[in-house]
Amino acid sequence: MAVYEHHYKPYEGQLTPTWSRFLVLPRYAYQDLLKYKFFIGFLVACYICPLIYTVLIYLHHNASALQLMDLNPRDLVPINGMFFSIFTGIQTTLAFIFTVVIGPVLISRDLANNALPLYLCRPFSRLEYIIGKMSVLLILLSLITWVPGLLLFFFQSFLEGGSWLVDNWWIGRAIFLICVAWIITLAMLAMAFSAWIKWRTAASAALFAIFIIPTPIGFAIQGILGTTKGHLLNLSVALSVLNIDLFRLDPDDKLFSTGEAWIVFFGYAALCLFMLSRKVRAYEVVS
Amino acid sequence: MNPVIELDQLRIEFGKRRILHDITGTLRGRCIGLLGPNGAGKTTLIHTLLGFHPPTSGTARIFGRDIRTEAKAVRTLIGYMPERDSFIANLTCVHFVRLMAELSGLPPEAALERAHEALFYVGLGEARYRKLGTYSLGMKQLAKLAQAIVHGPRLIFLDEPTNGLDPPARKRMLELIREIRDSGDAHIVLSSHLLRDVEECCDEILILKDGHIAANCDLEAERRANRKFIELETRNATPAFTSAIGSLGCDYAMTGEQRMKLVLQEGLEVRDLYQLAAANNVQIRRLNFKRDSLEDIFLKAME
């Protein structure tokens, strides 16, 4: 390394492809996160449930192991939509906790340190910045939600045979769609709050509030007006509606239609994008 | 020399407030000083050239590339050192500069190598593994300069680079700016309130006033032209002496009983003045090449 050459010189080497530069941000973010034992511990804890599910699926297909443990296959939980729905529920909850821990500092630190001009004076757009920051959460949350979910699904298909995969493809679709909708919404909410609320604790509290406050409002509207449409503000309810529909559970538990649930997700995403577009700028302009 | 920055009827409005009024001009200097009183539009102009604000109308070109239509290509050519503290929290200086290099498109290995080089170059080599939060103001300014040059840009915008620096740190910063200028590999746009800094580094200046260009001049040419202006202080000057100066073809003006300013005509030398004085039995007590200082140029532009 020519650190002894103390003179200015232009760079004439190869450049990385423009499309891949947003990935620099998650790489640096993970380098920082991996310094914390809490983060590593929690990440490991997120794989306890997939491990248990792997054992359960394995036991279903291993008669000798069941015999050894003195268990009857009928005593085990059936592997069906409900089985994977519970798995998805657990992992999406863990994803929420991860988001509350990591999300609030993603943009607020850059805003507090006036770092946005440094990013945006380079061949790096606002959109790339947002995608880069969002991918910190998206990659991480994918690793604990739909990736292990689909691995379990394919593991079950592998053990059960190709016909099970053909008959139950909708389970794989449900795992993927529910997790993706959830983690994108969580990531966008975390980013939007991070951009608008500089205080980390307040941003975390706001993330909790967005899931807690709509519940009493929804029930109050239901009580007064007799309509369940008041729950349309509630992301948790929208998630449960998708869960019921895509995992083919009891439709009587649905508080509104699947289309309305998608609208809730898209609505929140649009609101977050608007909030981000207002805040993620090199400098704020006062007209 | 090819134009570095071309301003073409560039207008910037924030809401109903017009900040830059259809400014037009071509800047070609190796180091261009951007001057003007507070609120003149200097920072807005820099931010517009960096692509932070879209022009309301008109456009600008940097090395022939339009900032409207080729914003990304333009930003690959430039480096920017902001006026205010701008950092990424929790990073050591070398990681910070490396990250900036990678965002500019350098592969990770090259970015790390260049980050080390840039930090050694600005004089932070020994402190490069310290977190930025522990840096003094002077070190932070140097770190900002390092991130601005790490990717080897062809044009570097320096916004108040000597702000808050003590005299040795200021001297070091100005030396670095001159070194980069003299390397011939990069052009510099230096925005500063300190006329002396601009005078020491720049060969061209653009003075803005209320969003208009008040002056755009080549300082080197001005300096050369000013060599013809002479301030004279004499003793025993007589009307015959002054009229003899006039008869040499020099424009002159008396600024005091024994003081005069004159413009030396082409072909005349200072020696001729001394000979004239001796012939008229006049003592020349002082002779100065009067040179319009940057302050004079600035004050003239502000009138």
Q: What is the pLDDT of residue B230?
A: 84
What is the Cα–Cα distance from A143 to A43, expressed in whole angstroms?
9
Q: Rounded to an integer, what distance in angstroms lies between the CA atom of residue A25 and that of residue A136?
A: 7
Under 8 Å CB pairs connecting chains A and B tally to: 138
Rounded to an integer, what distance in angstroms lies between the CA atom of residue B249 and that of residue A70? 121
Q: Is B164 left (phi over 0), alpha (psi -120 to 50) or beta?
A: left
Structure tokens at A171: 């389970």
| β-bridge partners, B205 | B33, B217
User: For A123, which of B14, B99, B104 is closest by C-beta distance?
Assistant: B104
* Binary contact (B186, A285; C-beta < 8 A): no
In a domain, A9, yes or no: no
Considering only A1-5, A95-99, A167-171, which range has the smallest mean pLDDT?
A1-5
Q: What pLDDT score was predicted for residue B177? A: 94
In chain B, what are the domain boundaries? 5-220, 227-295
Can you tell me the distance from the alpha carbon of A122 to that of A109, in angstroms, rounded to the nearest whole number? 19
CA–CA separation, B276 vs B273, rounded Å?
A: 5
Order of strands across the sheet that contains B212-218: B78-81, B155-159, B187-191, B31-35, B204-209, B212-218
Helices vs strands, H then E, count in chain B = 11, 14
Residue among A10, A110, A120 whose CB faces B185 most closely:
A10
Q: What's the CATH fold of domain B227-295?
A: Alpha-Beta Plaits (3.30.70)
Asked whether residue A212 carries a pLDDT value surpassing 60, the answer given is yes
HSE-up (13 A, CA, CB side) for residue B73:
10
Q: From the candidates A15, A118, A200, which should be mutated to test the interface with B, based on the most B CB atoms within 10 A?
A: A118
Q: Which of A118, A160, A161, A151 has the alpha carbon at shortest distance from A24?
A: A118
Residue position matching structure tokens 């916004």: B159
**pTM (two decimals):** 0.85
Q: Is the pLDDT of residue A65 over 50?
A: yes
Is residue A285 domain-resident?
no
For A122, the closest of B75, B90, B116 (CB atoms) is B75
pLDDT of residue A14: 93
Domain B5-220 belongs to what topology? Rossmann fold (3.40.50)
Position B269 scores a pLDDT of 82
Q: Which of A166-175, A213-222, A277-286, B219-228 has the lowest mean pLDDT?
A: B219-228
Q: Is the pLDDT of residue A1 over 50?
A: no
Residue A55 lies in a domain: no
Query: What is the pLDDT, as a whole number, of residue A63?
Result: 84
pLDDT for the residue B143: 95
Separation between Cα atoms, residue A196 and residue A103, nearest integer Å: 12
Q: What is the mean pLDDT of chain A?
A: 91
Chain B within 8 Å of A260 (Cβ-Cβ)?
no
> Please, what is the Cα angle at B161 between B157 and B162, to 5 degrees?
160
Name the token pair of A265: 């997700």
User: Can you spell out the DSSP letters for A140-193?
Assistant: HHHHHTHHHHHHHHHHHHHHH-HHHHHHTHHHHHHHHHHHHHHHHHHHHHHHHH
- Looking at residue A4, its pLDDT comes to 55
Whether A64 has its CB under 8 Å from any CB of chain B: the answer is no
Kindly indicate the confidence band of residue A286, based on its pLDDT and cuts at 50, 70 and 90.
Answer: low
CA distance A119 to chain B (A): 7
pLDDT at B119: 94
Q: Which residues of A touch B17 (CB under 8 A)?
A: 287
Q: Are A66 and A73 in contact (CB under 8 A)?
A: yes
CB-closest option in A8, A15, A28 to B185: A8
Does ipTM surpass 0.90 in this model? no
Taking the C-alpha atoms of residue A95 and residue A175, their distance in angstroms, rounded to an integer, is 14
Angle at B42 between CA A286 and CA B48, to 5 degrees: 65
Query: Does residue A17 register a pLDDT over 80?
Result: yes
Neighbouring CB atoms inside 10 A of A34's CB total: 11
| Contact residues on chain B for A7, CB-CB shorter than 8 A | 121, 179, 183
- Going by DSSP bridges, is the β-strand pair B229-235/B259-263 parallel, antiparallel, or unpaired? antiparallel
Which value, to the nearest 10 degrees, does the dihedral of the CA atoms of residues B103, B104, B107, B110 take?
-120
Interchain proximity B99–A28, CB inside 8 Å: yes
Q: How far apart are CA B50 and CA A31, in angstroms?
A: 30
Is residue A118 within 8 Å of B82, Cβ to Cβ? yes
Residue A154, in any domain of the structure = yes
What is the least distance, in Å, from the CA of A194 to any CA of chain B? 15
Sign for the pseudo-dihedral over CA of A276, A278, A279, A282: positive
* Residues A190 and A137 sit within 8 Å (Cβ to Cβ): yes
**A57 assigned to some structural domain:** no
Instruction: Please enumerate, as own/partner, the contacts of B163-170 that have beta carbons within 8 Å and a separation of 24 or more.
Output: B163/B83, B164/B137, B164/B138, B165/B137, B165/B138, B165/B141, B166/B138, B169/B138, B169/B141, B170/B197
Complete edge-to-edge strand list for the sheet that includes strand B65-66: B17-27, B5-14, B57-62, B65-66
CA dihedral for A63, A65, A71, A75, sign (positive or negative):
negative
What pLDDT shows up at residue B108? Answer: 96
Q: What is the pLDDT of residue A285?
A: 67
A window 7-36, beta carbon within 8 A of B: 7-16, 18, 21, 24, 28, 32
Q: Any chain B CB within 8 A of the CB of A287?
A: yes
Q: Do B88 and A7 touch (CB under 8 A)?
A: no
Cβ–Cβ below 8 Å for B110 and A117:
no
Contact A231/A255 with Cβ under 8 angstroms? Answer: yes
Distance from CA of B168 to the nearest CA of A (A): 19
For chain B (303 residues), the mean pLDDT of every run of 10, in chain order, is: 92 92 94 92 94 94 95 94 87 95 96 94 92 91 95 95 89 93 93 89 93 89 71 87 86 84 80 89 86 74 76
Domain boundaries, position A134: 19-46+78-279
* Strand-pair category, B17-27 with B5-14: antiparallel
Is the separation of the CB atoms in B128 and B155 below 8 Å?
no
Average pLDDT over residues A91-110: 93
pLDDT tens digits along A176-208? 999 999 999 999 999 999 999 988 899 999 999
| Contact present, A134 and A103 (Cβ < 8 Å) | no
Of B80, B103, B121, the CB nearest to A6: B121
Q: How many domains are contained in chain A?
A: 1
Residue A133 lies in a domain: yes
- Exposure string of B249-273, with b = 16+ CB inside 10 Å and e = fewer, is ebebeeeeebebebebeeebeeeeb
For every residue of A249-262, which 3-state class applies, written as one string?
A: CCHHHCCCCHHHHH
Q: What are phi and psi of A125, to 5 degrees?
A: -85, 170
What is the pLDDT, as a whole number, of residue A283?
80
Smallest Cα–Cα separation from B98: which of B85, B86, B87, B109?
B109
